[in-house]
Amino acid sequence: GTGSSILSALQDLFRLSKSKVEKQLQIISVLQWVLTFLVMGIACTLILMYTLCTDFWAIAALYLAWLVFDWNTPRRGGRRSPWVRNWAIWRYFRDYFPIRLVKTHNLLTTRNYIFGYHPHGIMGLGAFCNFSTEATGVSQKFPGIRPYLATLAGNFRMPILRDYLMSGGICPVNRDSIDYILSKNGSGNAIIIVVGGAAESLNCTPGKNSVTLKNRKGFVKLALRHGADLVPVYSFGENEVYKQVIFEEGSWGRWVQKKFQKHIGFAPCIFHGRGFFSSNTWGLLPYSKPITTVVGEPITIPKIDNPSQKEVDFYHSMYVDSLMKLFDKYKSKFGLPETEVLEVT
């Protein structure tokens, strides 16, 4: 009757409104991370400097004193917060794309690990969501394993940003930090290194599956020095969420990017996603494309205090083969044709 029709219409309206609210929350959650990635460090530094010149200078002075006292914490495993890692905002972040974490093998809690994450993409969104939050259930999938996502050490020199990053279990990608976690923090640690780094980000574009790996062997040497098992990780869809202007080798644009990469540690990319209000306009929001991160089979690595170049090359070759096999095994399952080949440069 009329009553049931009205009730049905109200239920449909409620579901529609709930869906819209959830979509807006997803957009806001992603936007806050993008702004964190791009401007939070600089903005917090400027605000702190400005505060020193105001009547509230004592607050800034106290924070600076704390900063000096706490300066080495990022290099000693950081200060993760289970509360921050479990924020509801990360679940909205996950569902925006959506992002999934796929486990293929168990990891022993009696071992330490170095995960090689590929590809970098523009911002490493899959790496952040999967390993710096609990949105995709990393602690449930790998019980007893503590993930540490490694990023530029310069981020930990910026006020407030450093504390925000550490709360998610993010650490500097330098030898001091990695040595501490793998040698003085017990077992069950997994350091996630985005191996291709800034160089790889310069070539990421939708439809391209390419990793910068041939001459990246430092992570293998670290694994040998600590006897940490290597785990290949490939994120299908990481390159699909932004469109980038690719400068050809030898062009002025690529020259500028490489200079930044060499002297500062990151490469400025010219990229765009969608707008805040419409997917048909350009903006900073990534496109809502699925990202599926597959964690492969660990490669058992012996502990060698001073590995030779021959030993490093041997295990590096083993790692590259394992990564390519992982890609080939799962590519068709996650939307790529069987003919797709992973390019290793």
Q: What is the tens place of the pLDDT at every residue in 261-276?
A: 776 667 778 888 999 8
Count the Cβ atoms, other than its own, within 10 Å of residue 309: 9
List for the chain the helix, strand, coil content (%; round to 5).
50, 15, 35
Q: Cβ(104)–Cβ(298) under 8 Å? A: no
Q: What is the pTM of this model?
A: 0.90
Cα–Cα distance measured from residue 148 to residue 170, given in angstroms and rounded to the nearest whole number: 5
The predicted pLDDT at position 260 comes to 77
> Residues of the chain whose pLDDT is less than 70?
1-17, 263-265
Residue-number span of the structural domain to which 118 is assigned: 2-344
Q: Which tens digit of pLDDT belongs to each residue from 145-204?
A: 999 999 999 999 999 999 999 999 999 999 999 999 999 889 999 999 999 988 888 888
pLDDT at 7: 56
**In this structure, which amino acid lies at residue 279?**
S
Which residues have CB under 8 Å from 322's CB, separation 6+? 230, 232, 296, 297, 299
Whole-number pLDDT of residue 10: 47
Given this model, what pLDDT does residue 2 score? 55
For residue 29, the model assigns a pLDDT of: 96
CB atoms closer than 10 angstroms to residue 5: 9
297 Cβ neighbours under 8 A, 6+ residues apart? 104, 105, 231, 232, 322, 326
Written as six digits, the tokens of 299 are 């490669």
Could you give the number of structural domains in the chain? 1
Phi, psi torsion values for 148, nearest 5 degrees: -125, 110
pLDDT score, position 259: 78
